[in-house]
Amino acid sequence: MKPMISNRITTMTCLAAAALLGMGCSSSSFNQTTPPPAAVDSGGTGGSDATATTGPSDNGTGSTTSDAGGTGLDTSQPPVQGANVCNDAKACPGNRICADGVCVPAPTDMEEAVLTDNCHGKECSVETIAEPVDVSCANLKLAAPAGPATTTMYGIVDRFGSGLKTFPVEVAVFKASEWPPANCVSLPMKEQRECIRTAKSPWTATSTDPTAPNPTVPASCVHHVDCPAGYECIEDANGENPNKCDPQWGHYSIDGVPTNTLLVVRSKSASASVEKKWRDAYVVGIYLYADRVKDGRYRSNALMVSDAQWKQTPSLLAVGSIQPGLAAVGGRVRDCGTASRKSLAVGHSSIDLARPGETAYRVGYFNDNEEDTVPINARTTSDIFGRFVAVNVPPGPNRIGAAAKVGGNVKSLGAEDIYVVPDSLLIVAFPGKDPVLNK
């Protein structure tokens, strides 16, 4: 199935072009382990949620199909014009594969893709899982199982890399169908960041100190999940004392968030005194399945990145820095999951963007240690946790695609439409949309 362009992405592209060219547009104790719905229709290996459902056609509760999340992309009319766009009329050059509209490098190590459950629970392992990679949800619309129309969305504000404790941090939720705000996209690109980062949402909260509930803290720990929610299990610097639980991650809770709806979560500092020590972060592709709401609540972590990590990553990738006005895109490649297991990380996958940066652009990957946020300059595919990063990404509409060697052949793992905010980090996991809850 070939992706089809959506009206919203067309509008975003037009408005972005208008802004740039002056033209007009014409008409943890936190726990959630329920497995995801099974996929029912492979529909090819396309990208964003589009034309059918992932999840059972009938899960016993009268599941229906959600209107939210279908972007309907079409490679004959690419959502962005960029050097890495591919379609029927434009093949990918060299050792690249067309991953649903995006030319992605074929994995050079040619190792078979592996699946890993990237959690740090007591019963979790970093060993790979001997199951086939499932990309049947790519290019399909998400299921809308029966359940409550809204929920209390809660979790911690995680942090990528080192930095300050993640409280107070403002967490705001937006519907993806209304993102980015139209009044912001119509502005010149240099003005969009401030407009988008200050856009109002009816679903907003500020993270709080995890010590406030006065939790019971164990004398020692081995895993993060041995500690109360919001605490991290920290190793003793000298190795002479037991590991201890240390409060690091702020708690947040937002009532009335819609289920069965694709969401965008924005996180930014809520303290003017330390605002320059953070970079705004946008997590896209969040989806709260109604049938997984438990006691009126649904866990999904937010995320922040420190300014120090922002500067360190491009330096280690030998491109110097992320230039003003450009951005970073990071995340994980995850498969779709099945009726018997959740979505898992896809190791040895490669990614790229349809519209890469023109100056000091670089895609990077990490090592096989979930705690390590230092990119490996020589690595050409994702670690076993599916992690990747791209730096000096141009702002505005874009599309990210992934590929891997599956069953002996290099194949597309799907693609996703994204909108990149200047001077900010965008996080996306695809094609599977299960949250990673490792703290």
pLDDT the model gives residue 17: 37
How much is the pLDDT for 438?
A: 58
Residue-wise pLDDT tens digits, 151-194: 999 999 999 999 999 999 999 999 999 999 999 999 999 899 99
pLDDT of residue 127: 74
Per DSSP bridges, beta strands 262-269 and 281-287 are: antiparallel
Lowest mean pLDDT among 129-143, 187-201, 314-328: 129-143
Q: What's the mean pLDDT in 364-368?
A: 94
Provide mean pLDDT across the span 310-321. 97
Q: What is the per-residue pLDDT across 80-130, written as a single tens digit (0 to 9) for each?
A: 789 999 999 999 999 999 999 999 999 876 789 999 986 645 545 567 888
pTM for the full predicted model: 0.83
Given this model, what pLDDT does residue 96 score?
96
Return the sign of the alpha-carbon dihedral for residues 305, 311, 315, 321: positive
Structure tokens at 2: 């070939």
Q: What is the signed CA dihedral for 383, 159, 192, 430, rounded to 10 degrees?
A: 40
Buried b (16+ CB within 10 A) or exposed e, 342-356: bbbbbbbbbbbbbbb
Q: Does the pLDDT value for residue 253 go beyond 50?
A: yes
Quote the pLDDT of residue 125.
Answer: 58
What's the mean pLDDT in 22-28? 34
As to burial, measured by CB atoms within 10 angstroms (0-12 exposed, 13-18 middle, 19+ buried), residue 215 is middle
Instruction: Report the distance separating Cα 377 and Cα 294, nearest Å.
Output: 42
Tell me the per-residue pLDDT of 222-251, one tens digit each, with 9 for 90 and over: 888 899 999 999 988 888 889 999 999 999
Residue 161: Cβ-neighbour burial (10 angstroms; 0-12, 13-18, 19+): middle
Q: What per-residue confidence (pLDDT) applies to 54?
A: 34
Strand-strand pairing, 327-334 and 387-393: antiparallel
Query: Would you place residue 74 in the very low, low, confident or very high pLDDT band (cuts 50, 70, 90)?
Result: very low
Encoded tokens for 225: 């999940």
Instruction: Supply the pLDDT for residue 31.
Output: 37
Distance of CA 254 to CAs 167, 174, 342, 415, Å? 15, 12, 25, 30
What is the predicted pLDDT for the residue at 46?
31
- Here the tokens at position 203 are 């679903």
Which pair of tokens denotes residue 40?
Answer: 């029912």
Nearest residue to 433 (alpha-carbon basis) of 329, 310, 327, 288: 288
Residue 27 confidence (pLDDT): 32
Question: Quick one: pLDDT band at residue 139, thresholds 50, 70, 90?
Answer: confident
Q: Which residue has the higher pLDDT, 259 or 7?
A: 259
**Longest CA–CA separation in the chain, Å:** 68
Of 218, 320, 206, 339, the closest CA to residue 267 belongs to 206
Write the CB contacts of 307 (distance below 8 Å, at least 6 apart in sequence): 163, 276, 277, 278, 279
